[in-house]
Structure 1
Amino acid sequence: MSISNSIRMQRQQLILPLLSSSPCKFSLSPPTAHHHYFSALTIPSTKTCSEKNEHGDVCQTEPPIISDKIFQSAAKLGSYRLGDSTFYSLIENYANSGDFRSLEKVLDRMKRERRVFIEKNLITVFKAYGKAHFPEKAVDLFYKMVDEFQCKQTVRSFNSVLNIIIQEGLYYRALEFHCHVVNTKNILPNVLTFNLIIKAMCKLGLIDRAVEAFREMPLCNCTPDVFTYCTLMDGLCKEKRIDEAVSLLDEMQIEGCFPSPMTFNVLINGLCKEGDLARAAKLVDNMFLKGCVPNEVTYNTLIHGLCLKGKLDKAISLLDRMVLNKCVPNEVTYGTIINGLVKQGRAVDGARVLISMEERGHQANEYVYSSLISGFFKEGKSKEGMRTWEKMLEKGCNPNIVGFSALIDGLCREGKPDEAKEILSEMVNQGCIPNAFTYSSLMRGFFEMGNSYKAIILWKEMADNNCIHNEICYSVLIHGLCKDGKLKEAMMVWKHMLAKGWTPDVVAYTSMIHALCNAGSIELGLKLFNEMLYQESDSQPDVITFNILFTALCKLNRISHAIDLLNHMLDRGCDPDLVTCNVFLKALKEKLNPPQDGRDFLDELAIQLYKRQRTIGASKIVEMMLQKFLPPKTSTWERVVRELCKPRKIQTAIYKCWNNLFC
């Protein structure tokens, strides 16, 4: 065998065991006094080899991390000697493999032999701790760099540890660490340091402090870069300070920092969430002027904004433009449009977009299918809903809890709760655990079919399966019991709900008020209504709640009280509907002497809505008057019609603008 081959084989015998070391498991010990935010890490022992002592007992000894034999024979090998570079290689190897026990042994031996530590290798260790989610060990090592390792700390190691803490989402700890290092160490922050600390402040909602840090950068000879501006813009947008964020765009260009597509995307996203599509469109124009081409994120953001505003046709047009500009739509793009179409009651159009999506090589996920299934059933198109379900299974897309729940809810809407119950059993057999929404849909289905017994059995089944009853479940149960005339049982559930700390929603409140009024306890119903006014937004009365009280009051000939309540309803921004008008028309005709046809009442109602700038509501009242052959006064007609025409002209102009921009 040649000398070179002999040397190569000996090297392999040394290195291979080191590289094959398996990562060890960890256990947590109590936190230290200095760093109480994290748990210190206790490393268990690694593999041991068995040896017998002089008494013949077997004892466990650990193999050394680096065998001295290979270095003792270094002269014979001619090229392998125990140098700093060997230790550096071992540090990198163990850090990358996550073998912290072996890593710490290497570091300890280097300290004993007074080896030279370089910052680059310790940064590698920091990153390994970050990857293993042990940020406090990185902090401890950073503080030991000078005293224990005689390695100078610089802004590079500082930023490395700071980034690890922020990646863990420990933003307050990051601010504390930053403050301590800047005040006690001779380390000057650079642009990356400011970027990281501004990010932490924005994540915590401390936008004013983030702006202060941003303004301090020039004092530290640091020039903000595109990431600085993007981070601060995003923070301002999340706090709905859009104007300040947009003004930063002009400022950064004045300062010579060229905006990137990410910069524009942050602002466009903020404007779209606020519903300000006109300004978002102007920013797209600005992008082109700056030679900054919109990318997939830009288009997806605009499409999402259009869907939020209900402008689905424009969103679809923008999708076509996106393809023409060689920006590839992804599952998020299509899913956003399909979900938007479903919300508008256009599930058929959503299915067409799905076909287009598949033709372009994209596979829909279970959420897209679930949205379509739910949409078809809500529109009363159960056959299309079932076909979509079957198509999902054929495509190999396994339904999740959302898909199963959509099908169960759809079957219940079709009056088929027993079939829905079978789907629930299939769902459980496939290991998909039903949630509160699933059970609520099925309970509602049985109540609607007049089978309250099976609905109550499901309520008990939820508890047996450790599925927590939430406010929706309570609301469904209360509504069902009230509808069955079981007021006492509903009252018991109501008290139980309050005792559990749940706030009744508008359905639960309205159901109880309706049941109390039907039982002749209108004063209790009004008391519950007054309590409702002081609750959260989800519990505020709607037009159905008001109509129930109008009906009850008018039956008792308390028309003046009902009219006072109607004025209160208008003041709260709730518009009357056809039921409201019919309740009052009937009362005015049957309860007054002499009877009234209600023309003056409806005319005055239209004027009240007009004065509150609720033109759509006023126009509906006028439309109803015409249908009932109760023509409004000429002055009312002119006011309402003239005001109604204005927004339509504006809407036409807006549509024209969008067409010019995207078509």
Structure 2
Amino acid sequence: MIMLFRIIRSKRLNPILLGAKKNLSFSVPCKSSNPTLCDSSARKQLDTETAIPEEIFKSAPKSGSYKLGDSSFYSLIDSYASSGDFWSIEKVFERMKRESRVFLERSFITVFKAYGKARLPEKAIDLFYRMVDEFQCKRTVKSFNSVLNLIIQAGLYNRAVEFYSSIMSAKDVSITPNVLSFNLIIKSFCKLGLVDRAVEILREMPAKNSAPDVFTYCTLMDGLCKQDRIGEAICLLDEMQTEGCFPSSVTFNVLLNGLCKKGDLARASNLVDNMFLKGCLPNEVTYNTLIHGLCLKGKLDKAVQLLNRMVDSNCVPNDVTYGTIINGLIKAGRAADGIRVLNFMEERGFPANQHIYSSVLNGLFKEEKYEEARRMWKEMLGRGCKPNEVVYGVFMDGLCQEGRSNEAEEILQEMTSNGIKPNAFIYSSLLRNFFRTRSSEKALLMWKDMENKGCAVNEFCYSVMLQGLCQEGKLEEATILWNDMLGRGFMPDTVSYSTLIHGHCNLGDVKKGLELFNEMLYRDSLCQPDVITYNILLDALCKEGSMARAINLLNNMMDRGCDPDLGTCNIFLKALREKFDPPQDGREFLDELVLRLFKRERTLGASKILELMLQKHLQPKPLTWEKAVQHLCKPRKGVVN
């Protein structure tokens, strides 16, 4: 008998052992939550009343309203729930109903958890509504919270609010929410960005005999910080202490994260002092948050000092801590300091990962420390860190920048032999290098090789190929590639359009360039012409002496909100010198351009052209100076003197 109950309470019932006892009939539970997937013979067995052996239910004692064998039903429910066999659970429920068995809320909560694990929140909601009418089981806040929690864990925050509201407003439901209920619904509102509604729930809690706890305040603070309402979040810190709820390290970490992301390091420092006063010691999350904030503000030396303080406080830095500092130093152009931190990290028994090595290698190549980068690559391999596609990509791109394309190709072969498939970024780096070294034939061969290997090319790959082919004057190949890109459904961006327009203009086909330009105007915002596109066409029109068309295009450029830059001005200054007889210095043209920009409230663009005029000793007219003073001295909105 003891053996029998061990079998019942195990994760899965063993029908063979049960059958061996008294040759009992027993069905094998269906492993699928979908009944249609079950074997027909097994389904037929479960449909009979003897599907669950009678002997199982004769061993439990009778107590109060419970009948002989009730505990065995509960054990079956637990077993089926743990394996996700929901069809068998329903069969057990049906048998219990027929025999007028007592249903326990605990059993339903077990099934709710199983539904949550299986990502079936709607099934749990349906079962919750059936508990009273169908199974005569009283629902309490425990089962309510269980269902509400699994809905939230599934990320269905709107559904959680809907479920909460329906239960709270139902006249036939007498469930009083507790602090966990309020915490869950506050979390849902915060996740939906409805922080004000979450604050309203907080204010309703005392009237419903529920005092907010540290989790309530932490959730609200996090929601407020994510909406950049850090002042209100800090006020909640004061409020919770007044109400006798003492903040934890998690509470302070939430606020510190918000302050550091905003760059308010002074208030973050004061908060750390407050943290110590309240007896909350900083943990790894606290230090990581502060270090990240210091790195964002460029205070890298202080970040390193904080790292040392962290170690002295017996608080162990992790990959995130070291990675944040190293990445910050690399971005600041301090690759050597980044390597020192990496070595310190390794000495303390924390091997650097691929992300850290890719950051260091990238920094060394950007600082043109090619020899050190190659040495770091060897050290990485020697330390047992296997490069992934990102590390390979950074290293090959660096080798290409250094002009070591042969070595880069060798690394590519090594990468593929190690079973790592090159991505679009790696191929783009090699293609760009081939064009830079005037090896367009190699680029075309690699492009064919990419297609044969099924490499997933993207718009950037096409852009690199188009630019390289156009620069070498291979417009025919570029046009074929362009049509291939469109045929595959890729949307060309501004760079791709500008590249092809430039290629046509360089060969004197300005008409085709203008056709592509007009095509851009009807595309979406991702491929609208920019100042480079306009300058390409303006230069082409000026070179062929079409000054009127160039002026019209310049007007179109400004009407569409694109300011002319110094390149635009130099194009027209050159044309005015070379295409006019007598040559003009361009003073009148630039003066008029400045006035038009000021009139359109484009003060920055106008100021740059004024600077150019002064550099070229082209004195602006008095009226132009007057307009400049008026606009530059005009009070800006939101600025208080």
Answer yes or no: is the 8 Å Cα contact 2:295–2:328 preserved in 1. yes
1:182 corresponds to = 168
Answer yes or no: is the 8 Å Cα contact 1:532–1:540 preserved in 2. yes
Give the deviation of 1:398 after TM superposition. 2.5
- Does residue 165 of structure 1 match 2:159? no
- Does residue 341 of structure 1 match 2:332? no
CA distance, structure 2, for counterparts of residue 148 and residue 472 of structure 1: 61
**Distance verdict in 2 for CA 1:394–1:613, change over 3 Å:** farther
- Does residue 314 of structure 1 match 2:314? no
- Does residue 150 of structure 1 match 2:141? no
The one of 35, 44, 61 equivalent to 2:38 is 44
Tell me the secondary structure at the aligned position of residue 139 of structure 2. Answer: coil
CA deviation profile, 1:362-395 (whole Å, cap 9, x unmatched) = 1211111122223333333333333333333333
CA distance, structure 2, for counterparts of residue 100 and residue 369 of structure 1: 48
Using the size of structure 2 for normalisation, the TM-score is 0.75
**What letter is aligned with 1:432?**
I
Tell me the secondary structure at the aligned position of residue 341 of structure 2. Answer: helix
* Structural mapping, 1:535-546, within 5 Å: none
* Structural mapping, 1:408-557, within 5 Å: 408-494=396-482, 496-497=484-485, 502-521=490-509, 555=543
CA distance, structure 2, for counterparts of residue 90 and residue 270 of structure 1: 48
The one of 305, 308, 329 equivalent to 2:317 is 329
1:298 corresponds to = 286
CA deviation profile, 1:532-563 (whole Å, cap 9, x unmatched) = 78988876777766765675576567899699
The one of 123, 132, 155 equivalent to 2:109 is 123
Tell me the secondary structure at the aligned position of residue 146 of structure 1. Answer: helix
**Distance verdict in 2 for CA 1:227–1:43, change over 3 Å:** farther
Answer yes or no: is the 8 Å Cα contact 1:48–1:63 preserved in 2. no
Answer yes or no: is the 8 Å Cα contact 2:13–2:79 preserved in 1. no
User: Which deviates the most, 416-425 or 327-336?
Assistant: 416-425
Give the deviation of 1:277 after TM superposition. 3.9
CA deviation profile, 1:274-320 (whole Å, cap 9, x unmatched) = 44444444443443454443322222123223333444333323322
For structure 2, list consecutive stretches of 5 or more residues without a partner in the other structure: 15-28, 633-641
Give the deviation of 1:351 after TM superposition. 1.6
**What letter is aligned with 2:216?**
T
Answer yes or no: is the 8 Å Cα contact 2:557–2:563 preserved in 1. no
**Distance verdict in 2 for CA 1:422–1:482, change over 3 Å:** same
1:658 corresponds to = none
**What letter is aligned with 2:391?**
G
2:365 corresponds to = 377
CA distance, structure 2, for counterparts of residue 541 and residue 88 of structure 1: 70
CA distance, structure 2, for counterparts of residue 525 and residue 237 of structure 1: 50
For structure 1, list consecutive stretches of 5 or more residues without a partner in the other structure: 1-9, 30-40, 52-59, 76-80, 644-663
**What letter is aligned with 2:38?**
P
CA deviation profile, 1:230-272 (whole Å, cap 9, x unmatched) = 2233333334444544444444445444333323322332333
Tell me the secondary structure at the aligned position of residue 202 of structure 1. Answer: helix
CA distance, structure 2, for counterparts of residue 47 and residue 363 of structure 1: 56
1:15 corresponds to = 6
2:182 corresponds to = 194
Tell me the secondary structure at the aligned position of residue 117 of structure 1. Answer: coil
CA deviation profile, 1:426-454 (whole Å, cap 9, x unmatched) = 33333323332233223223222323333
User: Which deviates the most, 441-450 or 288-297?
Assistant: 288-297
Tell me the secondary structure at the aligned position of residue 145 of structure 1. Answer: helix
**Distance verdict in 2 for CA 1:381–1:492, change over 3 Å:** same
**Distance verdict in 2 for CA 1:406–1:22, change over 3 Å:** farther
User: Which deviates the most, 90-99 or 447-456?
Assistant: 90-99
Give the deviation of 1:127 after TM superposition. 1.6
**Distance verdict in 2 for CA 1:453–1:274, change over 3 Å:** farther
After superposition, the CA RMSD in angstroms is: 4.9
1:68 corresponds to = 55
Tell me the secondary structure at the aligned position of residue 415 of structure 2. Answer: helix
Answer yes or no: is the 8 Å Cα contact 1:505–1:539 preserved in 2. yes
Give the deviation of 1:357 after TM superposition. 0.9
2:638 corresponds to = none
CA distance, structure 2, for counterparts of residue 405 and residue 334 of structure 1: 22
User: Which deviates the most, 588-597 or 134-143?
Assistant: 588-597
CA deviation profile, 1:174-222 (whole Å, cap 9, x unmatched) = 2332233223333232322222223223333344544444444445443
CA distance, structure 2, for counterparts of residue 321 and residue 540 of structure 1: 51
Aligned residues: 595
**Distance verdict in 2 for CA 1:380–1:188, change over 3 Å:** same
1:6 corresponds to = none
Using the size of structure 1 for normalisation, the TM-score is 0.73
**Distance verdict in 2 for CA 1:72–1:349, change over 3 Å:** closer
**What letter is aligned with 2:101?**
R
Answer yes or no: is the 8 Å Cα contact 2:9–2:75 preserved in 1. no
2:19 corresponds to = none
Give the deviation of 1:172 after TM superposition. 2.8
